[in-house]
Amino acid sequence: MAWNLQSDRPIYAQLVEQIQRMIVTGIFPAGSKMPSVRELATEAAVNPNTMQRALSKLEDDGLLYTQRTSGRFVTEEADRIMETKQTLANELIQQFMENMNRLGFTREQAVELLKNAKEEEK
């Protein structure tokens, strides 16, 4: 697993986003057991407390749950996972539109560029 952490934003927030992506893309499938806090922290090269904070946030958000003696698991609620996927997609769209606006494109022009790019793929 590649962890891509930047210094411009809080590490814990980036961990939350990256684990969300891993869940919605199936790297951590619904119902699967999550690696331990220490394992994830080692892989991401972060402090275990920071990873614990990120996992607790995901648990608060309903993407993860804890079974006392067995560890943390990914939710089996497909609607919750799809909701997270939609939220992440909306954030990417918003970032794209902001970047296009900075380049001087209107919303309509940005949409037209997307349509053209889709046609070129075919």
C-beta of residue 33 within 8 angstroms of C-beta of residue 71: yes
pLDDT score for 68: 87
Mean of all residue pLDDT scores within the chain: 94
The SS3 call for residue 27 is coil
- Confidence category of residue 1, pLDDT binned at 50, 70, 90: low
Contacts of residue 95, defined as CB under 8 A and 6 or more positions apart, other chains included, come to: none
Q: 4-8, 23-27, 97-101: which has the minimum mean pLDDT?
A: 4-8
The SS3 call for residue 11 is helix
Q: 33-37, 89-93, 117-121: which has the minimum mean pLDDT?
A: 117-121
In the predicted structure, residue 110 carries a pLDDT above the cut 80: yes
State the pTM of this model.
0.84
pLDDT score for 82: 96
Dihedral pair phi/psi, residue 77, rounded to 5°: -80, 100
Residue 74 DSSP symbol: E
What is the rounded average pLDDT of the residues 77-82?
Answer: 96
The SS3 call for residue 115 is helix
Amino acid at 45: A
In the predicted structure, residue 2 carries a pLDDT above the cut 80: no
Cα–Cα dist 122/106, whole Å: 25
In the predicted structure, residue 52 carries a pLDDT above the cut 70: yes
C-beta of residue 76 within 8 angstroms of C-beta of residue 85: no
C-beta of residue 19 within 8 angstroms of C-beta of residue 1: no
